[in-house]
Amino acid sequence: MPTKKNNDDRSSGRDELRSRLRESATYPREVIAEIQRAAETGIYDIRGWGAKRKVPNFDDLLFLGASMSRYPLEGYREKCTTSVTLGTRFASKPIELKIPITVAGMSFGALSGPAKEALGRGASAAGTSTTTGDGGMTPEERENSNILVYQLLPSRYGMNPDDLRRADAIEVVVGQGAKPGGGGMLLGQKISERVAGMRDLPEGIDQRSACRHPDWTGPDDLAIKIQELREITNWEKPIYIKIGAARTYYDTALAVKAGADVVVLDGMQGGTAATQDVFIEHVGIPTLPALRQAVEALQELDMHRKVQLIVSGGIRSGADVAKALAMGADAVSVGVAALIALGDNSPQFESDYNELGSSAGFYDDWHEGLDPSGISTQDEELAARFDPVLGGRRLANYLNVLTLETQTLARANGKSHVHNLEPEDLVALTIEASAMAGVPLAGTDWIPGKNNF
């Protein structure tokens, strides 16, 4: 549901009036506003960002820490390593990351060239990878990213074997958490001459890319497609399969069967540059239960840690990272949080956000290309507001904080590597989170659905 900030909320007269009025739980203001908007425009609401509804998430889990029965590691003395190797199954050149946090795929087109450059700079400074998107690989991006993952998407915009060989890993995108089953969308405002050229499209048209790949259907085909990609790249590159969280247990198992080196799992809180609001909010499952299902599938196939698992969708803090790793992920990915770190939704641009009918902290109309922070735009004047060097520095800072926080929690649980975190270190605060994450409700040994109870 769209949340438009009412700037005049604080006016005391209205507060007094509203204290006597009763708002409908079925028809709260944002629901009424959406009905009015639909009636006025005749078209569904399109927006960026991920699901805004409240869903059980990592905040509903806690670490137990150490005490009499477990001993911790010294916070500033004893080592807690964070390195991750991805692609050990088939690739002759696996990827080595310094930290278990990667930057998710976001397209040049959705983002400005300098914003893509900043993602590369920040990820590289922090020792991790960044990812292309539905629009091909730009030279700036390749140049500024030490480790670059190249996405193979249904649209195949800009897809070519030279970039495949230039990439450090290849990510076959089957789905996205914000819209499992939906294709890409980039509206005319952002199809500049350069974006159109890279995608072989006329300038200024609304680009709605396909939701299925043009040359394979189903996991049996995909296995052969992956064989082709490996042949073209001499079996060097790790091949990831990215899925949106839906029927995660089966989808993960099928990704393994299709020959993935790495499974990337994106929960419903994962971001998008432009999708129908109804799709974002009502399709797919949250990251928390999806992660548990993916780990179960890998364990049952004896592939846990052999096929690496990257999870994304609402990763914001080191606590989220540590909890995802404890549940069995090998690494996480950040998208929306990375954009915020670059400067998206900064209060610095509050008056500009107000002019667009939004406010810092709420702005999600990334598809319109009018982003005051200069990040999700193709407008040269707006893009010039953004400094890719500074943005890269900010992203590196943010990634470093996530890493420090993750290490803090790992040491508190007595772990000398962040991958030694385990479900046994976790408890749930709510029955829902307990059932979804498969860890006991705090203070009990109860996991709903387990042991016939």
Partner 1 sequence: MDINYDLAVGTTRELNQKLNAAATKDADVSFRVLNPKGAHTLAVGMTSNISVDIQGHVGYYCGGMNQNAHIKVLGNAGPAVAENMMSGRVTVSGSVSHYAGASAHGGLLVVQGDSSSRCGISLKGANIVVQGSVGHMSAFMAQSGSMVVCGDAGDALGDSLYEAKLYVRGNVASLGTDCVEKTLLDEHKREIDGLLERAGVTGADASEFRRFGSARKLYNFDVDNADAY
Q: In the complex with partner 1, which residue's Cβ is closer, 1 or 159?
A: 159
Q: In the complex with partner 1, which residue's Cβ is closer, 216 or 362?
A: 216
Pairing state of beta strands 239-244 and 169-173? parallel
Could you tell me the smallest distance in angstroms from the CB atom of residue 213 to partner 1? 9
- Interface with partner 1 (CB under 8 A), residue from 221, 300, 355, 422: 221
Please identify, among the stretches 201-209, 237-245, 268-276, 290-298, the one whose residues bind partner 1 according to the rule CB under 8 A.
Answer: 201-209
Q: What angle do CA 311, 431, 67 make, to 5 degrees?
A: 75
206 binds partner 1 (CB under 8 A): yes
Please identify, among the stretches 59-67, 111-119, 202-210, 418-426, the one whose residues bind partner 1 according to the rule CB under 8 A.
Answer: 202-210
Q: In the complex with partner 1, which residue's Cβ is closer, 135 or 335?
A: 135
H or E stretch at 85: strand 84-86
Q: What angle do CA 51, 53, 54 make, to 5 degrees?
A: 120
Q: In the complex with partner 1, which residue's Cβ is closer, 196 or 322?
A: 196
Strand residues in 262-365 grouped as ranges (E): 262-266, 272-276, 308-312, 331-334
Residue type, 346: S
47 binds partner 1 (CB under 8 A): no
Q: In the complex with partner 1, which residue's Cβ is closer, 222 or 338?
A: 222
Residues 128-157 that bind partner 1 (CB under 8 A): 155-156
- Interface with partner 1 (CB under 8 A), residue from 2, 72, 181, 188: 188
**Which distant-in-sequence residues (6+ apart) come within 8 Å of 326 by Cβ?**
63, 413, 421, 422, 423, 425, 426
| Helix extents (H) in 145-206 | 161-166, 193-199
397 binds partner 1 (CB under 8 A): no
Q: In the complex with partner 1, which residue's Cβ is closer, 13 or 42?
A: 42
- Interface with partner 1 (CB under 8 A), residue from 1, 73, 164, 211: 164
Could you tell me the smallest distance in angstroms from the CB atom of residue 13 to partner 1? 39
Is 367 in contact with 111 (CB distance < 8 Å)?
Answer: no
Residue 367 in tokens: 């598809």
Could you tell me the smallest distance in angstroms from the CB atom of residue 66 to partner 1? 50
Positive or negative, the CA dihedral 396, 118, 179, 222 is negative
Is 198 in contact with 135 (CB distance < 8 Å)?
Answer: yes
Q: In the complex with partner 1, which residue's Cβ is closer, 42 or 347?
A: 42
Please state the φ and ψ torsions of residue 82, each to the nearest 5 degrees.
-130, 5
* 49-361-128-383 Cα dihedral, nearest 10 degrees: 80
42 binds partner 1 (CB under 8 A): yes
Q: In the complex with partner 1, which residue's Cβ is closer, 164 or 431?
A: 164
Could you tell me the smallest distance in angstroms from the CB atom of residue 42 to partner 1? 4
231 binds partner 1 (CB under 8 A): yes
- Interface with partner 1 (CB under 8 A), residue from 63, 216, 249, 362: 216
- Interface with partner 1 (CB under 8 A), residue from 17, 32, 224, 404: 224
- Interface with partner 1 (CB under 8 A), residue from 31, 62, 125, 159: 159
273/90 Cα distance (integer angstroms): 32
HSE-CB of 452 using CA atoms within 13 angstroms: 0
43 binds partner 1 (CB under 8 A): yes
HSE-CB of 288 using CA atoms within 13 angstroms: 20
- Which residues make up the interface to partner 1 (CB under 8 A)? 41-43, 155-156, 159-161, 164, 187-188, 199-202, 204-206, 210, 214-216, 221, 224-225, 227-228, 231-235
